[in-house]
Structure 1
Amino acid sequence: MAISPYVRDLRSRVGHDLLLLPGVTAVIRDGSRFLLARQHGSPSWGTVGGSIEPGEEPQEAVAREVREELGVDPVVGGIVGAYGGSHFVFEYANGNRVSYVSIAYECRLPAGANISFVDDELVETGWFTRDEVATLPRDPWVDRILEDAAHRPETADA
């Protein structure tokens, strides 16, 4: 995962101490299936997402993250929910600690879109029903987000 200049500057001041950072998550859906991804060095599946940069609109951030990670411009729809808490606290291999508060957005990929791992952050993607997701090793917050998304009607614009 690449570190932004903003976070790099914060890290130069606070070291490995816990940072509270805003983030976004793309809930990419095709009917009853959801697109999940796996990052380098992780056995767990999760949604595509990342940090919001200073001055960036959250909707722009989720579109940028999908573009950077999948090489596709998504159609961004409504908000699924906002998430935080203990399942969003991470300690990276270098000792940096982060607590994310993430806004999840409904997203749709254009018909016929070809996924390509543009920034080499991901190694694998797959489309899964919620029953299939239940059999996967996954990030602890995935079930909560997909549960909320599944209770929303899929919209044409996202």
Structure 2
Amino acid sequence: MPIPDFVVRLREHIGHDLLWLPGVTAVVLRGDEVLLVRRSDNGRWAPVTGIVDPGEHPAVAAARETEEETGVSCEVEALVWVNVTSERTHVNGDRAQYLDHTFRCRYVSGTAHVADDESSEVRWCPVGDLPEMEPVLAERIHTAVRHRGGVRLDG
């Protein structure tokens, strides 16, 4: 998985110590389907996720990450959930914890395909028949699908 340049520079100073980062999850919907990627780092299915660049609005990051990873353009409709992930240790030993912003997004255009090295597959999947994935990622999808206003805030 590519590491953003600003994180690489921070890691030069802090090594593998815990780093707090803003993240996004883009739940891109097209009718009754959701856009999924098979992550190249762990081989598991997930909605599009990524790290917010310094000074970037999280909604802009969600749309950017979707385009970069899948070639799909989307419109962010709503912030549906803000939560804190558990601490993660990445394959390279870096420790991180994320403040995730989950957005409900609407498909606009583009043919879904693997557009970078962060995923090995990209596909549209029926919301009612999701492949096996981390439970919290499935929960983000279902929260976005059910969204009718307001933002879910978890501690």
Q: Which band: TM-score by shorter chain?
A: 0.7 to 0.9
Structure 1 residues 72 and 127, CA, compared in 2 at 3 Å: closer, same or farther? Answer: closer
* Percent identity of equivalent pairs: 35
Of 86, 89, 92, which residue of structure 2 is paired with 1:91? 89
Matched, 1:149 2:144: yes
How far the C-alpha of 1:73 sits from its partner, in A, is 2.2
Alpha-carbon distance, 1:90 to partner: 2.0
1:55 shift after superposition: 0.7
What TM-score, normalized to structure 1?
0.84
TM-score by length of 2: 0.86
Q: Please state which structure has a larger fraction of its residues in strand.
A: 2
- SS class of match (1:78): strand
- RMSD over aligned CA atoms reads 1.7
Question: Partner amino acid for 1:116?
Answer: H
CA contact (8 A) 1:43 1:137 kept: no
Q: Distance in 1 between matches of 2:3 and 2:80?
A: 26
Q: Secondary structure at the match of 2:135?
A: coil
1:70 and 2:67 matched: no
How many pairs does the alignment contain?
Answer: 148
**How far apart, in 1, do the equivalents of 2:62 and 2:113 lie?**
17
Instruction: Give the C-alpha shift of residue 129 in structure 1.
Output: 3.1
Structure 1 segments of 4+ aligned residues over 4 angstroms from their partners: none
**CA pair 119-43 structure 1, distance change in 2 beyond 3 A:** closer
Q: Which residue of 1 aligns with 2:107?
A: 109
Unaligned runs of 5+ in 1: 154-158
Cα separation, 2, equivalents of 1:98 and 1:139: 17
Instruction: Find the aligned partners of 2:113 and 2:18 in 1 and give their Cα distance.
Output: 33
CA distance in 1, matches of 2:18, 2:143: 28
